[in-house]
Chains A and B, each alone.
Chain A
Amino acid sequence: MALKELNISPVGRVEGDLDVKVYMENGVVTRAHTQAAMFRGFEKILAGKDPQAGLIVTPRACGICGGSHLYCASSALDVAWKTTLPPNALLMRSIGQAAETSQSIPRWFYAIFATDMANKKFANKPLYQEVVKRFAAYVGTSFQKGVTASGRPVEVYALFGGQWPHSSYMIPGGVMCAPTLKDITRAHAIMNQFRNDWLEPIWLGCSIERYMQIKSWDDMMAWLEENESHRNSDLGLFLRAGLEFGLDKFGQGVGKFLAWGTYLHKDMYNKPTIEGRNPATISPSGFWDGKKYYDADQKLVSEDVKHAWYENQTDGLHPFDEPIPTTSTDIKNLHNVNVGDKYSWAKSPRFMGHAAETGPLARVIMAANPANKEHQFRDPLFGDIMEKLGPSVFTRVLSRMHEAPRLYMMMNEWLSQVRLDDEFYIKPTERDGIGWGATEAARGALAHWIKIKNGVIENYQIVAPTTFNVGPNDKDGNPGPIESALEGTEIEDPHDPVEVGMVARSFDSCLVCTVHAHDNKTGKQLAKFKL
């Protein structure tokens, strides 16, 4: 069999730059290596700086998930400084986090993912014409509506944070703003517009309430066939075309999932601690190994660097124990790199020693955990879908989109819980200490670890969702989730390896913050075939 090596640089339309080297036999990927090809060194910049520097710097680690970084950075300082958080502050932070994620859902679907469904690869499929009409870049009818509507939720973020992206409104002790009645009522109205401009008429073709009744894959299929409005909505088209195009047939991944969860309950996290965090989440945390649920204890995270361009650390360290990175000098582009050695700027984070996929699919799997508490999401749908269909590009996309209606409902609920006469901020006392903050960025589990000593940052470590997903092989040679998900993928045209793009994009890879401080960008060019 002919072994071909295909170097794809850049993949593009993932945030930041991702390069992929794949080995194929008969057009099927047998092994893949991902390269994060840019380094920015934010951890080095933060060391020795003001303890609150992370509030300004880390949102700029990633312009796509800046609000999520802020959520982590402020939470980590809350723990370190032993703050008291008023309920209003927790609500304001949840609203910001949910607004950012709601923005990302249509923006990612139309601008990043669905344009690939209009690729000529699928031209012989019956639904192709309809897909092109709606999803083609810029000119697609839904592309325009979806991308424009994606700006709405972050207007709510701007009401409370001043702007999106790159606000620093969440601070230890609460939030900066003290919104007024007119801000709250306007926020309700903006979210309604999001629902009316896109979510219900374009995406669902039904009311949010009707959609929320879907509890199993059979329900989903019954919903699809219920009427023309469902079939012809963008969700209906995605379900039909996704299955017709075979998107459920590739991109499986490692089958293990991690979520830190998020949206700390307004009355359950007023005294922030590391231990108290997971039980206080509304979107639940957890680790699922394909059979069983485990607690997502941050102590069980470690990072390997055997294949990453860092020199001064050993494999398997917990983020609190990791040194400020020292970079390698022998950096090679994708083309020339030796994958047996170091080949990426991304480290390889592991949970309980396992590579774990993070992201919306992980979140909806945790939402299906029967042990979830009353205040947490309890939604069996993706427990069932994982059983019936398993993970794939299709399942991953569906899980992402599934969050939009629920977040809409949650944002309205949180807005209605804000008490305008109560506190939004309680000034904390600054002190040395350690802290951990975590959340669910749109694309998955994000966490910050901070150590403060002598009134400045001693160490700051970020483990971003795409670091989990896109990281290189670990010390034992086990692939990361995207590397694993690429295996078995058929590539029809090596000059246009859209399948690789679809797998990477189904993870909503964000190299920008993946590389915790290191971003990746790489570049290699196309195809060199070793026959």
Chain B
Amino acid sequence: MTNLIWLKGGACSGNTMSFLNAEQPTVIELVTDFGIRILYHPSIGLEIGEQVKEVLNDALSGRVSVDVFVFEGTVIQGADGTGNMNYFADRPMKDWVNDMARVANYVVAIGDCATWGGIVAVPPNPTESTGVQFHKRDKGGYLGKDFVTKSGLPVINIPGCPAHPDWMTQILVAIATGRMHEVLLDDFHRPKTFFTDFVQTGCPNVSSFNNKIEGAFGKRGGCLFYEVGCRGPMTHASCNRILWNRTSSKTRANHPCLGCTEPGFPHHDLEKGSIFKTMKYLGFLPKETPEGESKLSFYFKRGYNKLLSNPGENDLSSK
């Protein structure tokens, strides 16, 4: 039996909705087959009012053990560090987070808001929001960079806006089946098994990327990196390997990757010209180049392939 408490701070519930889409296993199978016991969840918990406080206080006092504490949404510290912009069960939510993180075996931050602040923390950051253990790219966040849970692990970050249901359920299954020692974390505390690939890995348009064939909205085929700001080549996530809703992914539906599993999303803080447009140097060279490439070599290779590519069958698309 694995006890789980899920709380939400500055959140849109998108990660919860995504979680409910889970298929293998479903949320119900997590409960009935994998022994995940959901002590509380704000959207699907049965408790109300005082009953919720009893559950939370039992967890804090140690009367009930908490194996996994999942937090969704930012930690709201406003106004002026008080946290009173987000009350929950009579206290600032941030106080519950602090206390709960210390009694849980594993702390999982789910979604960009909880991992590094996400949209809610975009300047002017009206709620003084931060992530559980990161603020944008900087380690620290609300709990501080040295925080580790009872199990010895820091906060496990499952980013994404929202996170893919598999990223969450597979980690929960790993905990329930005693495989946590195989979960490796990267520098941003993301489980490597999901965040080593790039969004580009498995994207249908990589040949177009290699040959610099540009895509555009409302048309079939072509790579969205060059004009509409796709971040697939520099974003770590398995979106095109483990599909969304069993069927698709943003880039499969001609939707540029927004880079939502990387700290810093929304990138460039939504500044003018950064939305669905590739930011350019000198008016034509992409300002950001794929991860792992020097700018010069990237420009060289793409220019070269463009010149050499045979505008033959690779461009074809069909209804």
Contact = CB atoms under 8 A, between A and B. Distances in A.
Instruction: Tell me, yes or no, whether A and B come into direct contact in the complex with CB atoms closer than 8 A.
Output: yes
Interface of A: 7-13, 15-17, 19, 37-42, 44-46, 49-53, 55-57, 60-64, 66, 89, 107, 111-112, 115, 137-139, 143-144, 147-148, 150-151, 154-155, 157-169, 171, 173-178, 180-181, 186, 190, 327, 329, 331-335, 345, 420-421, 423-427, 455-456, 495-498, 500-501, 510, 512-513, 519, 521-527
A495 B28 contact: no
Closest 4 pairs between A and B when the two form their complex, measured CB to CB: A63-B14, A425-B218, A526-B50, A41-B126
A218 B115 CA distance: 54
Given A62-B13, A158-B247, A519-B11, 20 more contacts: A8-B48, A12-B46, A12-B52, A45-B122, A55-B275, A56-B258, A62-B14, A63-B15, A63-B162, A66-B12, A112-B43, A138-B32, A158-B245, A167-B255, A177-B218, A178-B220, A327-B78, A335-B90, A425-B216, A426-B218
Given A10-B89, A159-B247, A522-B87, A169 B253 contact: yes
Contact of A180 (B11, B127, B318): B318
A55 B258 CA distance: 11
A155 B84 contact: no
A468 B78 CA distance: 25
A52 B76 CA distance: 26
Given A157-B245, A525-B50, A165 B119 contact: no
A62 B217 contact: no
30 contacts: A8-B49, A9-B89, A12-B45, A12-B52, A13-B44, A19-B87, A40-B120, A45-B120, A50-B272, A51-B272, A57-B119, A60-B14, A111-B44, A115-B46, A154-B245, A155-B248, A162-B248, A163-B244, A166-B18, A173-B217, A174-B218, A176-B255, A178-B319, A190-B247, A333-B90, A495-B50, A496-B51, A513-B12, A523-B87, A523-B88
B196 to A, nearest CB: 20
A55 B118 CA distance: 15
Contact of A164 (B21, B48, B127, B276): B21
B100 to A, nearest CB: 14
Contacts of B162: 63, 165-166
B250 interface: yes
B275 A52 contact: yes
Nearest to B249: A162
A38 B318 CA distance: 48
B258 to A, nearest CB: 6
Given A60-B161, A523-B89, A526-B53, A158 B253 contact: yes
B85 interface: yes
B95 to A, nearest CB: 10
A159 B253 contact: yes
Contacts of A38: 9-10, 76, 85-87, 93
A21 to B, nearest CB: 11
Contact of A56 (B8, B123, B243, B275): B275
Contact of A137 (B44, B52, B219): B44
B270 A56 contact: yes
A12 B217 contact: no
Interface size class of B (residues with CB under 8 A): 35 or more
Contacts, number: 317
A114 to B, nearest CB: 12
Contacts of A107: 20
Contacts of A510: 13
Contact of B12 (A60, A164, A497): A60
A156 B249 CA distance: 12
B313 interface: no
Nearest to B93: A521
Contact of A162 (B9, B17, B218, B244): B244
Nearest to B16: A63
Contacts of A176: 217-218, 253-256
B245 A155 contact: yes
Contacts of B88: 9-10, 17, 37, 521-523
Contacts of A332: 84
Interface in B288-319: 318-319
Contact of B13 (A16, A55, A335): A16
Nearest to B243: A158
Given A148-B26, A167-B255, A421-B319, A63 B17 contact: yes
Interface of B: 8-18, 20-21, 23, 26-28, 31-32, 42-53, 74, 76, 78-80, 84-91, 93, 118-120, 122-127, 129, 161-162, 216-220, 239, 243-256, 258, 260, 266, 269-276, 318-319
Given A155-B245, A523-B88, A525-B90, A175 B218 contact: yes
A332 B85 CA distance: 9
Contacts of B120: 40-42, 45
Contacts of A55: 275-276
Contacts of A421: 319
A151 B23 contact: yes
A144 B157 CA distance: 29
Contacts of A16: 8, 13
Contacts of B124: 44-45
A333 B216 CA distance: 49
B53 A525 contact: yes
Contact of B126 (A61, A175, A327, A423): A327
A134 to B, nearest CB: 14
Contacts of B74: 40
Contacts of B23: 151
Contacts of B11: 63, 512, 519
A160 B162 CA distance: 18
B32 A139 contact: yes
A180 B319 contact: yes
A13 B43 contact: yes
B93 A523 contact: yes
A63 B127 contact: no
B127 A334 contact: no
Nearest to A181: B319
A49 B11 CA distance: 21
Contact of B247 (A155, A169, A180, A498): A155
A327 B248 contact: no
B245 A171 contact: no
B12 A62 contact: yes
B258 A423 contact: no
B48 A498 contact: yes
Contacts of B243: 158
A45 B258 CA distance: 18
B319 to A, nearest CB: 4
B170 to A, nearest CB: 17
Contacts of B32: 138-139
Nearest to A331: B84
A519 B10 contact: yes
A499 to B, nearest CB: 10
A163 B250 contact: yes
Contact of A12 (B42, B85, B319): B42
Nearest to A107: B20
Contact of A177 (B27, B119, B254): B254
Contacts of A45: 119-120, 122-126, 270
A524 B87 CA distance: 8
Contacts of A50: 270-275
Contacts of B13: 15-16, 62-64, 510, 512
A8 to B, nearest CB: 4
